[in-house]
Structure 1
Amino acid sequence: MNKFSTMISLLAVAIAVPAIAQTVSDNDMPSSGLAIPKDGKVFGAANPNVYRPSATVNGEIITATDIEHRMALIRIANSDMELPADEVQRLRQQVFSNLIDEKLQIQEARASDISIDENLVNEQFARLATRFRMAPDKFSEYLQSRGSSAESVKQQIRGEVAWDRLLSRNIQSTTNVSTEEVTSEANRMNDAKGQNEFHLGEIYLAATPENAQTVLQTARQIMESLQKGGSFAAYARQYSQASTAVVGGDLGWVKSGQLPASMADAANQMQPGQLVGPVEVPGGISIMLMIDRRQVLTADIRDAVLSLKQISLEFPAGTTESRATTLASQFAEATRAIAGCGAADDVAAKLGASIVSRDNIAMRALPPPLQATLQELQIGQTTQPFGSVSEGISVLVLCGRDLPNSATAPDLQEIENRLLEGKVNKRAQRYLRDLRRDAVIEYSE
C-alpha cells in the first residue's frame, strides 16, 4: 500500500445504474426506430417491473440469497443508513442487474480461456479484511453476522478481475489514438487557455413533481453520510441515475458552459475537496464534489513537484479513540520540533516511527487539505498530523518544492492517455451490451 495514500474507501460496491432520466416534451423525444404508435394501448397487466427473486443466466443460477447478500454489503458500506421502501426496492433491482452482468463477465472470461487465480481472489479478500482491522476468518464471521458472506465478496472480486482481463486482452490491446486526434485536442486546449475548468463528481437523482420531496430527503441522507466520511464513488455507483455512475460519478474536466446553470454557479464557488448539495438541476437533484479545479494551460502552485519525508506511527491493536487522541497529541508535539529534513530520521527513531522518503510527488496527487498546508510551508517544516485509529498517524516534512513554469503547454502523452481511456470505456460498454443482448436469461416466478 502506498504510504502517501491517506484516504481509503472501506467498501465500494459496484452497481450498474440506468442512464440519466429527465423530463422532455413529445417534440424533444428521439426516434426509437421502432414501430410504436404514439397513442398505443397496453394490453394485459401493465406491471413490467415485477421483481423476480432469482434467475438463470445462460444456465447458471442467481438466487434470492445472492441478492440479499449483496444488499447486506450495501448496508455495511453505508453504515446502515435507513432508506425509504421504494429506494430499497430500486437498489434490489440494481443489485440483481449487477449480478447478471457479473455472471456474463465471468462466463465470457471462461469462454476466452481466462482463468481467475483463487490465490489472487483470497489475497484481495485478505486486503479488504485488513481495512476492517480483521483477520480473514474474523472478517468472514463479521460478514455472516451482517447478513452477507465471504463468498459474495469473493464472487464480486472474481467478476472484477475477469472483466479487467477481458478488457485488457480484447479491447485495450486493439484500441489506438491517432496523432491527429491528439493534435486536435491540444489545439482545443490552447484555444481555451486561461478558462476555468472543474474536475467534478456528481450524484444525480431524477425527480418529478410527485416524488420531489422524497428524492430531496434521499439526497440529504446521502449528503449526511458523505459528510461523515462515506465514499463518494461508492455512493455514486449505488444511487446516481446518470450514465457516469459506472465510473463513480466522475464527470472529468468540464467548463462552466458545459454545466446546467445551477451547477455552474456552485462550481465557481467551490474549492477542491468541497461537497455541495442538494442542487436543483433540470429533471432532478445533484450532489457535487469538486475533485480539482484549474485554469487551462495556466501555471498553478498546486502543479508543483515535491520532495517529502513521511513519518508514520502505527497504533497498537485495540487502541481506543480516546487513547489514539492522546498518542496523536504526543506525536504532534514531538514532530513539531523537527528542524529540517536532516533531523527527521532522528526524531522518527526516538518515536519508534517509520520514515519514508519520496521525490517527484505531484502536489495535486495529495488530498486537498494537505495541498493547502504544503502551499504555505517553508522547506524543512512539517504538516499537521493526519490519520485515523485504523491507519495510524503521520506527518509530512517538506524537503523540496519545484515550482511550475509561468505557463504550461499541453502534455501530449497525458492527452493521448485520456483519449485512449475514453475509447476503451465506450468499447467496454458496447461489449457488455452485446453480452446482455445475446444472453439467455430466465426469471423465476
Structure 2
Amino acid sequence: MTTALSELYGSLPLWLQILQGVTLVVILSSVLSVVVLFACAARFRRRTNRLTRDGVDAREEDFLWVFVVPALNEEVTIADSIARLQQTHATHAVFLAIDDGSDDRTGEILAGIADDRLHVLTRLAPNARRGKAAALNDAYRYLDESILTDPAFSRWTKDQVIVAIVDADGRLDPSAPISASTHFADDRMGGLQVLVRIYNRRGPLTWAQDVEFTAFGRLFQAGRAWWGTANLGGNGQFTRLAALASVDDGSGPWRHTLTEDQDLGVRLIQAGWANAQDNDATIHQQGLNSLKRLYRQRVRWAQGNWQAFSLLRGVGRPALPPAARIDSVFYLLTPLLQLLMGTSFVISMAMWVLDIGPRSVTVWWVLALFLALSLGPTVVILLLRQGRWYSRLLGVLLVVPYTICSWLIFPVLAASLLREALGRNSWAKTPRETIDDGSPLATIGT
C-alpha cells in the first residue's frame, strides 16, 4: 500500500501519503454511501407510496397522540405552538407542555389557555433547567403516573400511545398523525421522524439551513429508513411509548447527552425497534439568522456527535443487513471522518498556496476534496428538493454559495472536540426571534 501511495503522491512525506491515502478511501466510501442511500431512499419512497395507496390496517384514531412541548422561557412562541397543535388532525390527543423553570411569561401564557387536553408540567428549582433530557424524562414519568392513570385513558396500551416531541418554535403539519399512523401500523416501528423545514428561510443563512435539513431527510434519513435505521431529531420526533419504556434505564428513556435525540434513536434501533422517516409530513421550525448563534448551535450538536462514539459498541446487537450495519458505523464515525477530510483539505490548500510538494498532486487534491465533500452530494440533494417549477434550477445555481456557507462552520468539529476533551458540557439557550403569522414560504427557492 505504501508503494502505491508513493507512486500516486510522488515525493510527499510518508505521513502525508498515508493521511491522504486514508482520506481517499474515506472519500470513495462517502461517494458509495451516497449512491447506496440514494437507491434505498427511492425504494423506501416507492414502498411508502404503495402503503398509502393501498391503505394499511391502522388509522390515526387507533392511537393516543401525546404532544410534548419543552418550554424554557418561550413566551415568544408558546401560544403559537399550542394553537397550532390544537389544529392537528388527532382524534385522541393530549398536549403536555413542560415549563422548565421559566422566569418570563411562559407559565402565565400556558395558564391562560383553556383546553382540557392541555396539561402543564411545571418544573421548579433545583430540579429545573437541567437539560432537555431531564425535562423529557420528567414528562415521561408524569405521563405514565399522572395522565395515563386517569380512567379516561384506561383503554390505551403503551403500544397505542405515540409520544411526539414538538419544540416551542415548531409548526407541525396538521395531518402529521394521519401520515404517521401508516408507519406505526407496523408493530416493530419504535420511532419516526418527520421532515424538518425552516419557516423563516428568507435569507441566505436560513435558506442554507433549510437545504441541510431537507437533504438529511430526503436522502440520508429516507435511505436508512429502508433498513429501519433512520435516526430521530429533537423536533418532530414520534416514538411509541412501549419503545421508550424498553430503553428506560430507571431514570428515563433519554440520557443526558448534548444530542439526546440522536442517542435515543440509536438505542431504539439497538434494542430491536425499527425507525423510519416520514417526508410526507413536515415540521417547520425557526432558523438562525446569526452566524454566531448558528456556530454555537453546531458546536453543541457536533460535541453531541463526539459523545455518540460510545454507541459504537452496540452496533452488533440488532439483526441488520451487512450494508445497514456498515452504514451505522459510518454514521456514528461521521465527525471523525469529516475532521479527517477537512484536515487533508486544509493541508492541500496550504501546500498549493505555499508551492510545497508536487503542484499537480496538491491541485488535484484541492479540487477532489472540494467536489467530494460538497458539490457532488449537494447537487443530488438540491435536485431532490420539491417546490416551484424553478426551484431545482435555482438550487443548482446556488450550489457554490451553499457550499461556501456550509464551510464557514467547518471549525465546529475541532472546537467541539476540544470542548469534549476539556469536559465542558454547559450551554446557554439560543434566544428565539420574534415570530409572525405568515406562511412558511420562502423568497429564496423552496
Tell me whether the two structures share a fold, i.e. TM-score over 0.5.
no
Q: Which has the higher helix share?
A: 2
* TM-score where L is the length of structure 2: 0.24
Larger gyration radius, structure 1 or structure 2 = 1
Q: Which has the higher strand share?
A: 1
* TM-score where L is the length of structure 1: 0.24
Higher relative contact order (CA 8 A, sep 6+): 1
